[in-house]
């Protein structure tokens, strides 16, 4: 019998919670031959990532994953062999009681948010005893060998490298999403939260000697773009030009297409967790808008990642990159750090590929989860 896995996803906001769990669920089914039920409390968010899904269905099969509407109140049912509560979401009490009562033991995992902080390795895989006698294990994704790793499909890098080497494939893809490349322009994708720093970066791009083509999937940053353009009507597909900057609004595309967009671009501005990781697999320089937390806790996480990522960069390149990211995340002027980043561009580009390959030499998150289960049995 195939092992069964239940993954619980509570959509807090945005698309990261569902983005990560949907990706993980598909990979577990496709590569590890386990049966997965993905419990989602907001099918509306799921439908954005999987447009063929039915937002009303209590139960449906999508790409081999059984998608379940997380019912309130909970309906009793037999728990799976492995239970993942994603990002510390609260499991239904009755379900936890059923886990404790199940004759065959259940592996209970809390899949945590991604962080590059030092303490992650020390906490990864630790058990915590619950009041009902069950153990819950903390599972931390991460960038180093002592963590749970990063989500990465086995063929991903080969696909990415083949695509990047194939001009016709890239052009065909861009054409399929309505993008006509501007001759000689650097291609930039922009996925970010609201950001006060945007205007100064766009000013710099508009005044640059080289043209830039900025592709902006529909999302929260559009409001700032409207303000900068002085134009509140930017429907999907709309293009605008200011100086050397060409801007185009894109539809929100499916995850696999979004990967291809990242692979096409010279620089990717990404946010949150999942797009941040996907931009690293693109092997191209990136700009991370980290998810904001109270008391600026997120800035420590930003620095922790920068400290790791900067290894191997020259002091000037490393400083330019860090200043550029800090300005972006603190809503500060971007022109100076952008110029310095451009000054070290070949090194930045080479480093992004090296970083990607080094991370890809680690075991991926779906595999570490399966290995953890097999060791625990
Ligand atoms: O949407 P995010 O900001 O998500 C999250 C959540 O806010 C979460 O609560 C928070 O804790 C976490 O960030 C850190 O960013 P993220 O993680 O990149 O998720 C976006 C998903 O959307 C990702 O799977 C990529 C996908 N995506 C598409 O499929 N198509 C698109 O066109 C775009 C722009 C993104």
Distance CA 171, CA 185 (A): 14
pLDDT at position 233, please?
Answer: 83
Tell me, using a 6 A CB cutoff, whether residue 272 lines ligand 1: yes
Identify whether the C-beta of residue 99 lies closer than 8 Å to the C-beta of residue 109.
no
Residue span(s) of the chain under CATH 3.40.50.2000 come to 156-360
Listing DSSP states for 292-336 in one string gives P-GGGHHHHHHHHHHHHHTTTS-HHHHHHHHHHHHHHHHT---HH
Per-residue pLDDT of the chain in tens (377 residues, 90 and over written 9): 899 999 999 999 899 999 999 999 999 999 999 999 999 999 999 999 999 999 999 999 999 999 999 999 999 999 999 999 999 899 999 999 999 999 999 999 999 999 999 999 999 999 999 988 899 999 999 999 999 999 999 999 999 999 999 999 999 999 999 999 999 999 999 999 999 999 999 999 999 999 999 999 999 999 999 999 998 888 999 999 999 999 999 999 999 999 999 999 999 999 999 999 999 999 999 999 999 999 999 999 999 999 999 999 999 999 999 999 999 999 999 999 999 999 999 999 999 999 999 999 999 999 999 999 999 99
How many CB atoms are closer than 10 A to CB 251? Answer: 12
Examine the residue annotation and report whether 273 is marked as an active-site residue of this protein: yes
Q: pLDDT value at position 341?
A: 98
Out of 17, 41, 85, 224, the active site residue is 17
CA distance 271 to 293: 13
Fold adopted by 4-150+362-376: Rossmann fold (3.40.50)
Task: Reply yes or no on whether 364 is catalytic.
Answer: no
In 3D, which of 70, 65, 60, 74 has the Cα closest to residue 8? 70
Cβ distance 107 to 373 under 8 Å? Answer: yes
Q: In whole angstroms, give the CA distance from residue 373 to residue 32.
A: 12
Q: Which ligand 1 atom sits closest to the C-alpha of 20?
A: 24
Q: Which residue has the tokens 């807090």?
A: 12
Query: What pTM was computed for the model?
Result: 0.97
291 and 16 Cβ atoms separated by less than 8 Å? yes
pLDDT at 50: 97
pLDDT of residue 232: 84
Give the residue among 206, 210, 268 at the shortest CA–CA distance from 241. 206
The rounded Cα 366 to chain-centroid distance in angstroms is 15
Residue 184 in tokens: 């000689």
Ligand 1 pocket, mutate which of 19, 237, 277 (most atoms under 8 A from CB): 19
Name the residue of 272, 298, 365 whose CB sits within 8 Å of the most ligand 1 atoms, as the mutation to test its pocket.
272
22 Cβ below 6 A of ligand 1: no
> Atom of ligand 1 at shortest distance to CA of 12?
9
> What is the CATH code for 156-360?
3.40.50.2000
- Which of 6, 42, 85, 273 is flagged as catalytic? 273
């Amino acid at each position: 019998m195939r092992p069964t896995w239940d993954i619980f996803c509570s959509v807090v906001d945005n698309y990261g919670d569902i983005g990560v769990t949907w990706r993980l669920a598909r990979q577990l089914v496709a590569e590890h031959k386990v049966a997965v039920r993905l419990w989602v409390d907001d099918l509306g968010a799921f439908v954005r990532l999987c447009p063929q899904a039915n937002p009303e269905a209590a139960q449906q099969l999508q790409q081999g994953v059984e998608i379940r509407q997380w019912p309130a109140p909970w309906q009793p049912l037999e728990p799976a062999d492995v239970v993942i509560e994603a990002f510390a979401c609260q499991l239904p009490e009755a379900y936890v009681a059923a886990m404790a009562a199940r004759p065959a033991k259940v592996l209970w995992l809390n899949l945590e948010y991604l962080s590059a902080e030092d303490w992650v390795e020390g906490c990864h895989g630790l058990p915590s005893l619950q009041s009902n006698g069950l153990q819950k294990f903390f599972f931390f994704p991460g960038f180093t060998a002592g963590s749970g790793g990063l989500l990465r499909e086995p063929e991903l890098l080969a696909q990415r490298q083949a695509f990047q080497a194939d001009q016709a494939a890239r052009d065909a893809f861009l054409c399929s999403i309505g993008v006509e490349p501007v001759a000689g322009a650097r291609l930039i994708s922009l996925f970010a939260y609201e950001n006060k720093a945007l205007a100064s970066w766009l000013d710099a791009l508009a005044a640059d000697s080289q043209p830039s083509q900025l592709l902006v999937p529909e999302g929260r940053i559009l409001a700032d773009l409207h303000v900068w353009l002085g134009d509140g009507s930017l429907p999907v597909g709309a293009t605008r030009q200011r100086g050397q900057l060409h801007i185009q609004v894109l539809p929100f595309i499916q995850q696999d297409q979004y990967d291809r967009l990242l692979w096409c671009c010279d620089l990717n501005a990404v946010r949150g967790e999942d797009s941040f990781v996907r931009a690293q697999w693109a092997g191209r320089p990136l700009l991370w808008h980290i998810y904001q937390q109270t008391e600026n806790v997120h800035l420590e996480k930003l620095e922790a990642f920068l400290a790791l990522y900067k290894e191997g960069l020259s002091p000037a390149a490393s400083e330019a990159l860090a200043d550029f990211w800090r300005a972006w995340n603190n809503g500060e002027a971007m022109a100076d750090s952008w110029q310095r980043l451009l000054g070290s561009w070949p090194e930045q580009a080479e480093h992004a590929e090296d970083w990607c390959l080094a991370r890809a030499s680690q075991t991926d998150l779906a595999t570490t989860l399966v290995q953890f289960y097999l060791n625990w049995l």
